[in-house]
Amino acid sequence: VIKCKAAILWEANKPFSIEEVEVAPPKANEVRIKIVATGICRSDDHVITGALVMPFPIILGHEAAGVVESVGEGVTSVKPGDKIIPLFVPQCGECSSCLSTKGNLCSKNDISSAAGLMADGTTRFTCKGKAIHHFIGTSTFTEYTVVHESAVAKIDSAAPLEKVCLIGCGFSTGYGAALQTAKVEPGSTCAVFGLGGVGLSVVMGCKAAGASRIIAVDINKDKFAKAKELGATDCVNPKDFKKPIHEVLIEMTGHGVDYSFEVIGRTETMTAALACCQYNYGVSVIVGVPPAAQNITFDPMLLFSGRTWKGSVFGGWKSKDSVPKLVADYMNKKFVLEPLITHTLPFTKINEGFDLLRTGK
Protein backbone atom coordinates (compact mmCIF):
# COMPACT_ATOMS: atom_id res chain seq x y z
CA VAL A 1 0.00 0.00 0.00
CA ILE A 2 1.27 3.48 -0.91
CA LYS A 3 0.28 6.52 1.16
CA CYS A 4 0.24 9.73 -0.88
CA LYS A 5 -1.62 12.98 -1.53
CA ALA A 6 -4.82 13.08 -3.57
CA ALA A 7 -7.46 15.71 -4.32
CA ILE A 8 -10.74 14.23 -3.12
CA LEU A 9 -14.17 15.51 -4.01
CA TRP A 10 -16.33 14.52 -1.04
CA GLU A 11 -19.55 15.98 -2.46
CA ALA A 12 -20.89 18.05 -5.35
CA ASN A 13 -20.30 21.81 -5.64
CA LYS A 14 -17.53 21.83 -3.04
CA PRO A 15 -13.79 22.50 -3.47
CA PHE A 16 -11.30 19.64 -3.70
CA SER A 17 -9.79 18.54 -0.42
CA ILE A 18 -6.09 17.53 -0.45
CA GLU A 19 -5.96 14.40 1.70
CA GLU A 20 -3.64 11.52 2.46
CA VAL A 21 -4.97 8.43 0.67
CA GLU A 22 -3.97 4.81 0.71
CA VAL A 23 -3.50 3.32 -2.76
CA ALA A 24 -3.71 -0.48 -2.81
CA PRO A 25 -1.29 -2.53 -4.90
CA PRO A 26 -2.43 -3.52 -8.40
CA LYS A 27 -4.38 -6.76 -8.71
CA ALA A 28 -4.12 -9.11 -11.71
CA ASN A 29 -4.07 -7.21 -15.04
CA GLU A 30 -3.76 -3.85 -13.24
CA VAL A 31 -1.04 -1.20 -13.26
CA ARG A 32 -0.11 1.25 -10.49
CA ILE A 33 1.13 4.57 -11.83
CA LYS A 34 2.98 7.55 -10.38
CA ILE A 35 1.21 10.57 -11.91
CA VAL A 36 3.72 13.24 -13.00
CA ALA A 37 1.42 15.76 -14.71
CA THR A 38 -2.34 16.10 -15.09
CA GLY A 39 -4.50 18.52 -17.03
CA ILE A 40 -7.79 20.03 -15.88
CA CYS A 41 -10.69 19.32 -18.24
CA ARG A 42 -14.23 20.66 -18.28
CA SER A 43 -15.51 17.08 -17.92
CA ASP A 44 -13.97 17.00 -14.42
CA ASP A 45 -15.86 20.21 -13.60
CA HIS A 46 -19.08 18.68 -14.98
CA VAL A 47 -18.91 16.10 -12.17
CA ILE A 48 -18.57 18.86 -9.57
CA THR A 49 -21.66 20.70 -10.89
CA GLY A 50 -23.70 17.53 -11.42
CA ALA A 51 -23.87 17.85 -15.23
CA LEU A 52 -22.00 14.51 -15.39
CA VAL A 53 -23.37 12.18 -12.72
CA MET A 54 -20.79 10.14 -10.79
CA PRO A 55 -20.73 8.58 -7.30
CA PHE A 56 -19.07 10.42 -4.37
CA PRO A 57 -16.57 10.58 -2.76
CA ILE A 58 -14.39 10.43 -5.85
CA ILE A 59 -10.90 11.18 -7.16
CA LEU A 60 -11.39 12.97 -10.49
CA GLY A 61 -8.88 13.65 -13.28
CA HIS A 62 -8.46 11.77 -16.56
CA GLU A 63 -5.91 13.71 -18.67
CA ALA A 64 -2.44 12.78 -17.45
CA ALA A 65 0.97 11.23 -17.95
CA GLY A 66 3.13 9.30 -15.54
CA VAL A 67 5.48 6.40 -14.86
CA VAL A 68 4.60 2.79 -14.06
CA GLU A 69 5.38 2.09 -10.38
CA SER A 70 4.35 -1.60 -10.26
CA VAL A 71 2.27 -4.11 -12.20
CA GLY A 72 -0.13 -6.87 -11.20
CA GLU A 73 0.01 -10.48 -12.28
CA GLY A 74 -0.36 -11.09 -16.03
CA VAL A 75 0.50 -7.56 -17.19
CA THR A 76 2.67 -7.73 -20.32
CA SER A 77 2.31 -4.41 -22.20
CA VAL A 78 4.09 -2.22 -19.61
CA LYS A 79 6.74 -2.66 -16.89
CA PRO A 80 7.90 -0.53 -13.92
CA GLY A 81 9.73 2.60 -15.11
CA ASP A 82 7.84 2.91 -18.41
CA LYS A 83 6.43 6.34 -19.29
CA ILE A 84 2.70 6.02 -19.91
CA ILE A 85 -0.58 7.84 -20.50
CA PRO A 86 -3.71 6.51 -18.73
CA LEU A 87 -6.71 5.98 -21.07
CA PHE A 88 -10.24 6.99 -20.02
CA VAL A 89 -11.42 5.10 -23.12
CA PRO A 90 -9.74 1.70 -22.73
CA GLN A 91 -9.03 -0.73 -25.57
CA CYS A 92 -9.73 -4.32 -24.56
CA GLY A 93 -9.34 -5.58 -28.13
CA GLU A 94 -12.23 -8.03 -27.75
CA CYS A 95 -15.57 -6.14 -27.66
CA SER A 96 -17.62 -5.22 -30.75
CA SER A 97 -16.33 -1.62 -30.85
CA CYS A 98 -12.69 -2.68 -30.44
CA LEU A 99 -13.09 -5.33 -33.17
CA SER A 100 -14.78 -2.90 -35.59
CA THR A 101 -12.65 -0.63 -37.78
CA LYS A 102 -15.36 2.01 -37.31
CA GLY A 103 -15.49 2.07 -33.52
CA ASN A 104 -13.35 3.15 -30.56
CA LEU A 105 -15.65 3.26 -27.50
CA CYS A 106 -14.55 0.03 -25.83
CA SER A 107 -17.36 -1.64 -23.86
CA LYS A 108 -15.05 -1.76 -20.81
CA ASN A 109 -15.31 2.04 -20.45
CA ASP A 110 -16.79 3.48 -17.24
CA ILE A 111 -18.24 6.61 -18.88
CA SER A 112 -21.63 5.06 -19.62
CA SER A 113 -21.99 2.91 -16.49
CA ALA A 114 -20.39 5.46 -14.11
CA ALA A 115 -19.81 2.81 -11.45
CA GLY A 116 -16.59 4.46 -10.27
CA LEU A 117 -15.04 1.07 -9.53
CA MET A 118 -12.40 -1.25 -10.96
CA ALA A 119 -13.47 -4.23 -13.10
CA ASP A 120 -13.87 -6.47 -10.03
CA GLY A 121 -16.36 -4.03 -8.45
CA THR A 122 -13.98 -2.67 -5.80
CA THR A 123 -11.82 0.43 -5.40
CA ARG A 124 -8.06 0.83 -4.84
CA PHE A 125 -8.39 4.10 -2.88
CA THR A 126 -9.09 4.50 0.84
CA CYS A 127 -9.17 7.74 2.85
CA LYS A 128 -10.01 8.06 6.55
CA GLY A 129 -11.27 4.49 6.46
CA LYS A 130 -13.69 5.23 3.60
CA ALA A 131 -13.62 3.71 0.11
CA ILE A 132 -13.09 6.42 -2.55
CA HIS A 133 -14.47 6.00 -6.08
CA HIS A 134 -12.40 5.97 -9.25
CA PHE A 135 -13.28 8.28 -12.18
CA ILE A 136 -13.72 6.77 -15.67
CA GLY A 137 -11.04 4.19 -15.01
CA THR A 138 -8.25 6.74 -14.56
CA SER A 139 -8.43 9.04 -11.47
CA THR A 140 -5.37 11.23 -12.07
CA PHE A 141 -5.80 13.90 -9.35
CA THR A 142 -3.60 11.80 -7.07
CA GLU A 143 0.13 11.14 -6.79
CA TYR A 144 -0.52 7.41 -7.44
CA THR A 145 -3.41 5.67 -9.18
CA VAL A 146 -4.33 2.16 -10.33
CA VAL A 147 -5.74 1.43 -13.79
CA HIS A 148 -6.57 -1.68 -15.80
CA GLU A 149 -3.91 -2.78 -18.30
CA SER A 150 -6.35 -2.08 -21.16
CA ALA A 151 -6.44 1.57 -19.97
CA VAL A 152 -2.74 2.42 -20.23
CA ALA A 153 -0.51 3.23 -23.22
CA LYS A 154 3.27 3.03 -23.15
CA ILE A 155 4.86 6.10 -24.78
CA ASP A 156 8.28 7.35 -25.91
CA SER A 157 10.62 7.50 -22.90
CA ALA A 158 11.91 10.91 -24.09
CA ALA A 159 8.43 12.54 -24.16
CA PRO A 160 7.95 15.56 -21.83
CA LEU A 161 5.15 14.33 -19.55
CA GLU A 162 4.00 17.86 -18.59
CA LYS A 163 3.12 18.46 -22.29
CA VAL A 164 2.01 15.07 -23.62
CA CYS A 165 -0.46 14.64 -20.76
CA LEU A 166 -2.80 16.64 -23.04
CA ILE A 167 -2.81 13.69 -25.47
CA GLY A 168 -4.66 11.81 -22.69
CA CYS A 169 -7.81 13.81 -23.44
CA GLY A 170 -8.12 17.39 -24.67
CA PHE A 171 -5.80 17.45 -27.64
CA SER A 172 -6.64 13.98 -28.97
CA THR A 173 -10.37 14.53 -28.51
CA GLY A 174 -10.45 17.72 -30.58
CA TYR A 175 -7.83 16.83 -33.18
CA GLY A 176 -9.43 13.43 -33.79
CA ALA A 177 -12.96 14.86 -34.00
CA ALA A 178 -11.79 16.70 -37.14
CA LEU A 179 -9.46 14.06 -38.62
CA GLN A 180 -11.08 10.78 -37.55
CA THR A 181 -14.77 11.42 -36.87
CA ALA A 182 -15.63 14.13 -39.40
CA LYS A 183 -12.81 13.26 -41.83
CA VAL A 184 -12.52 16.91 -42.89
CA GLU A 185 -11.31 17.21 -46.50
CA PRO A 186 -8.90 19.71 -48.09
CA GLY A 187 -10.64 22.90 -49.20
CA SER A 188 -13.68 22.42 -46.95
CA THR A 189 -15.26 24.99 -44.62
CA CYS A 190 -15.59 24.32 -40.89
CA ALA A 191 -17.21 25.99 -37.88
CA VAL A 192 -15.98 25.28 -34.34
CA PHE A 193 -18.25 26.22 -31.42
CA GLY A 194 -16.23 26.70 -28.22
CA LEU A 195 -12.55 27.63 -28.07
CA GLY A 196 -11.27 25.94 -24.93
CA GLY A 197 -8.41 23.47 -25.19
CA VAL A 198 -10.53 20.89 -27.03
CA GLY A 199 -12.04 23.44 -29.43
CA LEU A 200 -8.59 24.81 -30.26
CA SER A 201 -7.47 21.22 -30.94
CA VAL A 202 -10.41 20.86 -33.38
CA VAL A 203 -9.15 24.03 -35.11
CA MET A 204 -5.69 22.42 -35.36
CA GLY A 205 -7.23 19.23 -36.78
CA CYS A 206 -9.24 21.16 -39.40
CA LYS A 207 -6.10 23.03 -40.42
CA ALA A 208 -4.05 19.80 -40.59
CA ALA A 209 -6.78 18.35 -42.84
CA GLY A 210 -6.41 21.30 -45.22
CA ALA A 211 -9.69 23.13 -44.55
CA SER A 212 -9.81 26.41 -46.51
CA ARG A 213 -11.97 28.24 -43.98
CA ILE A 214 -12.21 27.64 -40.23
CA ILE A 215 -14.77 29.81 -38.44
CA ALA A 216 -14.21 29.93 -34.67
CA VAL A 217 -17.30 30.73 -32.56
CA ASP A 218 -17.15 31.80 -28.90
CA ILE A 219 -18.82 34.34 -26.62
CA ASN A 220 -15.41 35.11 -25.03
CA LYS A 221 -13.48 37.28 -27.49
CA ASP A 222 -10.29 36.80 -25.43
CA LYS A 223 -10.08 33.34 -27.07
CA PHE A 224 -9.85 34.70 -30.63
CA ALA A 225 -6.13 35.56 -30.85
CA LYS A 226 -5.06 32.02 -29.98
CA ALA A 227 -7.67 30.51 -32.31
CA LYS A 228 -6.20 32.55 -35.19
CA GLU A 229 -2.66 31.58 -34.20
CA LEU A 230 -3.69 27.89 -34.46
CA GLY A 231 -5.45 28.20 -37.82
CA ALA A 232 -8.87 29.88 -37.51
CA THR A 233 -9.57 32.14 -40.52
CA ASP A 234 -12.59 33.93 -38.97
CA CYS A 235 -13.70 34.52 -35.40
CA VAL A 236 -17.34 35.18 -34.57
CA ASN A 237 -18.95 36.25 -31.29
CA PRO A 238 -22.70 35.38 -31.23
CA LYS A 239 -23.21 38.31 -28.83
CA ASP A 240 -22.37 40.72 -31.69
CA PHE A 241 -25.48 39.74 -33.68
CA LYS A 242 -29.22 40.14 -33.27
CA LYS A 243 -29.96 37.05 -35.39
CA PRO A 244 -29.31 33.39 -34.46
CA ILE A 245 -25.70 32.34 -34.95
CA HIS A 246 -26.54 29.59 -37.47
CA GLU A 247 -28.05 32.24 -39.78
CA VAL A 248 -24.88 34.33 -39.46
CA LEU A 249 -22.72 31.35 -40.46
CA ILE A 250 -24.96 30.44 -43.40
CA GLU A 251 -24.70 34.05 -44.65
CA MET A 252 -20.91 34.04 -44.21
CA THR A 253 -20.52 30.89 -46.29
CA GLY A 254 -23.44 31.20 -48.71
CA HIS A 255 -24.86 27.74 -47.99
CA GLY A 256 -23.60 26.68 -44.55
CA VAL A 257 -20.34 24.98 -43.57
CA ASP A 258 -19.24 21.50 -44.67
CA TYR A 259 -18.36 20.52 -41.09
CA SER A 260 -19.39 21.94 -37.72
CA PHE A 261 -18.22 20.94 -34.24
CA GLU A 262 -19.90 21.58 -30.90
CA VAL A 263 -17.15 21.62 -28.28
CA ILE A 264 -19.01 23.11 -25.31
CA GLY A 265 -21.60 20.60 -24.10
CA ARG A 266 -24.75 22.73 -24.34
CA THR A 267 -27.91 21.56 -26.08
CA GLU A 268 -28.66 24.93 -27.71
CA THR A 269 -25.22 25.14 -29.32
CA MET A 270 -25.57 21.51 -30.49
CA THR A 271 -28.71 22.41 -32.46
CA ALA A 272 -27.11 25.65 -33.73
CA ALA A 273 -24.08 23.67 -34.95
CA LEU A 274 -26.37 21.22 -36.77
CA ALA A 275 -28.38 24.04 -38.36
CA CYS A 276 -25.28 25.91 -39.61
CA CYS A 277 -23.93 23.04 -41.70
CA GLN A 278 -24.87 22.61 -45.38
CA TYR A 279 -28.50 21.38 -45.62
CA ASN A 280 -27.77 18.32 -47.79
CA TYR A 281 -24.22 17.06 -47.13
CA GLY A 282 -23.14 18.98 -44.02
CA VAL A 283 -21.75 16.99 -41.09
CA SER A 284 -22.05 18.16 -37.49
CA VAL A 285 -20.07 16.51 -34.69
CA ILE A 286 -20.93 16.64 -30.95
CA VAL A 287 -17.62 16.72 -29.05
CA GLY A 288 -18.62 18.34 -25.73
CA VAL A 289 -20.07 16.10 -22.99
CA PRO A 290 -23.86 16.57 -23.04
CA PRO A 291 -25.45 17.71 -19.76
CA ALA A 292 -27.30 15.06 -17.72
CA ALA A 293 -31.10 14.84 -17.92
CA GLN A 294 -31.41 17.29 -20.82
CA ASN A 295 -33.01 16.44 -24.14
CA ILE A 296 -32.83 18.16 -27.51
CA THR A 297 -35.90 19.16 -29.48
CA PHE A 298 -35.23 19.98 -33.13
CA ASP A 299 -36.94 20.01 -36.53
CA PRO A 300 -36.27 16.58 -38.12
CA MET A 301 -36.29 18.29 -41.54
CA LEU A 302 -32.74 19.38 -40.61
CA LEU A 303 -31.71 15.72 -40.96
CA PHE A 304 -34.19 14.59 -43.62
CA SER A 305 -32.55 16.91 -46.15
CA GLY A 306 -29.32 14.90 -45.83
CA ARG A 307 -27.23 16.31 -42.98
CA THR A 308 -25.27 13.94 -40.75
CA TRP A 309 -25.19 14.35 -36.97
CA LYS A 310 -22.40 12.46 -35.22
CA GLY A 311 -20.86 12.04 -31.80
CA SER A 312 -17.17 11.65 -31.06
CA VAL A 313 -15.58 10.18 -27.94
CA PHE A 314 -11.81 10.62 -27.53
CA GLY A 315 -11.64 11.85 -31.12
CA GLY A 316 -12.53 8.45 -32.52
CA TRP A 317 -9.02 7.12 -31.78
CA LYS A 318 -8.49 3.52 -30.70
CA SER A 319 -6.70 4.56 -27.54
CA LYS A 320 -3.99 1.97 -26.85
CA ASP A 321 -3.02 1.87 -30.55
CA SER A 322 -3.20 5.60 -31.26
CA VAL A 323 -1.85 7.39 -28.17
CA PRO A 324 1.78 6.20 -28.65
CA LYS A 325 1.56 7.29 -32.34
CA LEU A 326 0.18 10.71 -31.39
CA VAL A 327 3.03 11.15 -28.89
CA ALA A 328 5.49 10.19 -31.66
CA ASP A 329 3.84 12.75 -33.99
CA TYR A 330 4.27 15.41 -31.29
CA MET A 331 7.94 14.45 -30.86
CA ASN A 332 8.33 14.73 -34.66
CA LYS A 333 6.75 18.24 -34.52
CA LYS A 334 3.66 17.30 -36.56
CA PHE A 335 1.62 19.46 -34.16
CA VAL A 336 2.21 21.75 -31.16
CA LEU A 337 0.81 21.40 -27.64
CA GLU A 338 2.45 24.42 -25.97
CA PRO A 339 -0.26 26.98 -26.94
CA LEU A 340 -2.87 24.81 -25.19
CA ILE A 341 -1.07 25.18 -21.85
CA THR A 342 -1.99 28.49 -20.21
CA HIS A 343 -0.93 27.88 -16.60
CA THR A 344 1.21 25.40 -14.69
CA LEU A 345 0.42 25.04 -10.99
CA PRO A 346 1.60 22.80 -8.14
CA PHE A 347 -0.85 20.00 -7.33
CA THR A 348 -1.93 21.62 -4.04
CA LYS A 349 -3.31 24.61 -6.01
CA ILE A 350 -5.80 22.45 -7.95
CA ASN A 351 -8.76 24.55 -6.75
CA GLU A 352 -7.11 27.68 -8.23
CA GLY A 353 -6.74 25.77 -11.49
CA PHE A 354 -10.48 25.09 -11.57
CA ASP A 355 -11.18 28.77 -10.83
CA LEU A 356 -9.08 29.67 -13.91
CA LEU A 357 -11.07 27.16 -15.98
CA ARG A 358 -14.43 28.53 -14.83
CA THR A 359 -13.46 32.16 -15.52
CA GLY A 360 -12.40 31.30 -19.08
CA LYS A 361 -8.73 31.99 -18.37
Catalytic residues: 41, 43, 46, 62, 169
Whole-angstrom CA distances from 122 to 26, 85, 134, 172, 329 are 12, 23, 9, 29, 37
Q: At what angle do helices 350-358 and 42-49 cross, to 10 degrees?
A: 90
CB atoms within 10 A of CB 84: 26
Q: How far apart are CA 138 and CA 337, in angstroms?
A: 22
Encode 164-200: b = buried (16+ Cβ within 10 Å), e = exposed.
bbbbbbbbbbbbbbbbbbbebeeebbbbbbbbbbbbb
Q: Are 206 and 277 in contact (CB under 8 A)?
A: no
